[in-house]
Structure 1
Amino acid sequence: MGRTAQPAALKLIKGRGNGKDSGGRPVNAGPAFKRLPPEPPEWLSDEAAAEWARVLPELARLDLVKEGDRSALAAYCEAWATFRDATETVQREGLTIQAAQGTLAHPAVAIARNAGKEVRAWAAHFGLTPSTEQALARGADDGNEDENPFA
């Protein structure tokens, strides 16, 4: 598999300006979706709902989320909740368990590892990774576009 395509807004924020991506290619804005933030599903776990409330305002402010992203954002939030729960279980019970076969890795270790991978994958889709944060910071609107000769 190749790289996952990024939303046009992220390409532009990371780009060279004037509608170009970081490679200097024109960015196709794509379809003009209404950028209205989705409502959280009622069935989200408490931790997933808290994560939704934490990330949605910034995603909406940056126009990186739309109603159609509801299921993907819910999957990200539930993956986060699973990661947290498994991590807390390992912290309470330890990395290993005693079984008939001897000392084994605690099942929550694998659950946390897998959920962490899922969190990172979903987070990248929404621009929630540290590298994307840096790109967003470089492309932030400080109101001084006219003063910047490189914009």
Structure 2
Amino acid sequence: MTHLRGVKPPIDRDSNALTKAPAAPKQLSAYARAEWKRIMPGLIERGIITRGDLGGVEDYCRARGLVREIEDTLRPSGEIDMKLCRLQDKAMQTARQLAAEYGLSPVSRARVGSAAGGDDDDDNPMSIGRNRAHA
């Protein structure tokens, strides 16, 4: 398990954010295209995706699609194929890491929400605010 150190900066709305979801890339699998269509409206609504981010979003969708494709392969056979299981695990890990980049996990969504929440650090005794040194 990987542990990232330090406090992640909040995700802010981007001034160059896309306002309309582009079509899913044609080269994606059916599962990956479905994931694109599922997540893109929320990303557009939160205003955090720019044209430059589309490759990373595509990679996330590709990883999620691969997880589903491998599941379809493993399930009917009833046998455990360790190579496919390791590949699926790696795809899940990659998808999870990319999901965090784009606010697609509960924790990263909270980061997005906290960016819009304003300056309420004074209520949190664990926060290190700009004016804490003077308190």
TM-score (normalizing by structure 1): 0.61
Q: How does 1:17-32 map to 2 (within 5 A)?
A: none
1:15-57, Cα deviation, whole Å (9 max, x unpaired): xxxxxxxxxxxxxx8xx64111562322221111111110000
% same residue? 25
Q: Matched residue pairs, number?
A: 115
* Structure holding more strand per residue: 1
* Structure holding more helix per residue: 2
Q: How does 1:46-85 map to 2 (within 5 A)?
A: 46-85=30-69
Q: Is the contact between residue 79 and residue 116 of structure 1 (CA under 8 Å) also seen in structure 2?
A: yes
Q: Which structure 2 residue ranges, 5 or more long, are not aligned?
A: 124-135
2:4 and 2:107 mapped to 1: Cα distance?
A: 19
Q: Which structure 1 residue ranges, 5 or more long, are not aligned?
A: 10-28, 98-104
User: Is 1:34 paired with 2:16?
Assistant: yes
**Is the radius of gyration larger for structure 1 or structure 2?**
1
2:96 and 2:9 mapped to 1: Cα distance?
A: 14
Q: Is the contact between residue 10 and residue 112 of structure 2 (CA under 8 Å) also seen in structure 1?
A: no
Following superposition, the deviation at residue 7 of structure 1 comes to 5.8
Root mean square deviation of aligned Cα: 3.2
1:75 and 1:6 mapped to 2: Cα distance?
A: 22
After superposition, the Cα gap between the structure-2 partners of 1:3 and 1:52, relative to the gap in structure 1 and judged at 3 Å, is: farther
Q: Is the contact between residue 38 and residue 69 of structure 1 (CA under 8 Å) also seen in structure 2?
A: no
Following superposition, the deviation at residue 127 of structure 1 comes to 0.8
Partner of 2:71: 87
1:98-118, Cα deviation, whole Å (9 max, x unpaired): xxxxxxx3x221111010001
